Structure 1
């Protein structure tokens, strides 16, 4: 079966510094795949390469077998790949529903019109209802985005990604900065949105990774040092050494040691 998303010998250099170094990665269709690693391991660079925000120095990105590393982010969205960002990017002065309406209008001719009637916008209501329910924002759908909690904003941002009907969804640290209640909310949210699509996520919280990921890829210094199911990766000596800790400290059975500490000597 052709992978949903592939990195093939992917390298990215910045003025002689190689942020990703010969990264080869296959993301299977329908799986939740986590990319982990110490701070500076190259995770964000890899995400930016996969989503078209950076162009590789060498290597390829393939989406369902088609080479796409020459395409812009908006063209990748049209081919079925969408992403969220670690820092929330929503329109704070607009309601949840209005944020979703703007995103749904984007691929149509409506944004290019000077005046749009309410009737024209009502055609998006059924899809907005579906997305609001999917991301669990029914109770706050008429609230301004600026007034949402951090977890609710994260849900809205994922909802914005869903407006483009992605087959592959990239999530950049979806639980960053959240308390336990917000984390549980996002775990449930990711499980819902993963139904019928492929999800790739960068995540530091190993409890979240243990609960969600079908497979894990570990980066260090821009290279893949391990890839496979959680139980296999947690016992890999190279992974343990990368975090300068003991296996039971980093990958606790119950996920109680949730956050990965930055690796000693990690790179930017």
Structure 2
């Protein structure tokens, strides 16, 4: 298993802050410390994977990075601007979008309608309940572009409820792209998929990463090896190791904590 060598890690722009940065993040839940002094910097244009065993704090870290949780202490910065005090919608407006491990599509709406609803959010349309549906026509070309980008151009009229698990993941990524994010967070994008679905979504992540920064939580180490320029390993809410895949996979602490025999494959 080899690391992503087709696209080497981008060099940090001189004098520019990281695209996304966590500084000494701590999150406590009634005496339980879910993240413990997490510090990491993710450079612009990088695909960065966050891995670790169940309960390592990966989802909590994603919630902190995207504004769905407020840290007990520490900071989150997006292109140098502190965002951990902002609500999620304000974080999105500043250029960070995310997907969720649990499907978040509207099942009773069509694929196209799901994307159109998401495209409305930065406009004045959500507050104009009296507007005709034809008002959305101006957003239709962008919706079709996004569906083509995520490989669902032939599914725009299907109900989201009728999509396969992999197709729902494609739609969720498409919904995340409606805000034209500079940084995209993907939570377990290939979870529960077979070989064909994993290959399709992995290729999709490679495409959407062009021109933006991607951070993903992922259990499938084959996907991590193919996509990630760098990885961060969490254990018990703290950073155990961080760096290039080939370096981290040989770290004895990582082998013992998570990778096991797979690291020698």
Question: Same fold by TM (over 0.5)?
Answer: yes
Whole-angstrom distance in 2 between the partners of 1:230 and 1:69? 28
User: Which shifted more, 103-112 or 143-152?
Assistant: 103-112
Summarize the alignment of residues 189-200 of structure 1 with structure 2, pairs less than 5 Å apart. 189-200=204-215
What residue is the counterpart of 1:147 in the other structure? Answer: 162
TM (normalized to structure 2)?
0.92
SS in 1 for 2:21: strand
- Residue 251 (structure 1) aligned with residue 263 (structure 2): yes
- Residue 13 (structure 1) aligned with residue 25 (structure 2): no
Relative to structure 1, is the Cα distance of residues 100 and 17 closer, same or farther in structure 2, using a 3 angstrom cutoff? same
Relative to structure 1, is the Cα distance of residues 252 and 207 closer, same or farther in structure 2, using a 3 angstrom cutoff? farther
Using the TM superposition, give the Cα deviation of residue 141 of structure 1 relative to its aligned residue in structure 2, in angstroms.
1.3
Deviations along 1:132-173, one digit per CA (max 9) or x if unpaired, are 110000121110000000000001011111001110000000
Deviations along 1:168-208, one digit per CA (max 9) or x if unpaired, are 00000000111101000100110111111000000000000
In the TM superposition, structure 1's runs of 4+ consecutive aligned residues that sit over 3 Å from their partners are none
- Residue 64 (structure 1) aligned with residue 79 (structure 2): yes
- Residue 33 (structure 1) aligned with residue 45 (structure 2): no
Summarize the alignment of residues 81-120 of structure 1 with structure 2, pairs less than 5 Å apart. 81-120=96-135
CA contact (8 A) 2:255 2:263 kept: no
What residue is the counterpart of 2:182 in the other structure? Answer: 167
What 5-or-longer segments of structure 2 have no aligned partner?
Answer: 1-15
What 5-or-longer segments of structure 1 have no aligned partner?
Answer: 254-268
Whole-angstrom distance in 2 between the partners of 1:185 and 1:244? 24
CA RMSD of aligned residues (A): 1.1
Whole-angstrom distance in 2 between the partners of 1:250 and 1:59? 34
Deviations along 1:206-236, one digit per CA (max 9) or x if unpaired, are 0000000010000001110110111001100
How many equivalent pairs are there? 250
SS in 1 for 2:109: coil
TM (normalized to structure 1)?
0.91
SS in 2 for 1:251: helix
CA contact (8 A) 1:206 1:251 kept: no
- Residue 2 (structure 1) aligned with residue 14 (structure 2): no
Using the TM superposition, give the Cα deviation of residue 252 of structure 1 relative to its aligned residue in structure 2, in angstroms.
5.1
What residue is the counterpart of 1:257 in the other structure? Answer: none
CA contact (8 A) 1:20 1:221 kept: yes
Using the TM superposition, give the Cα deviation of residue 118 of structure 1 relative to its aligned residue in structure 2, in angstroms.
4.3
Match for residue 129 of structure 1 among 123, 131, 144: 144
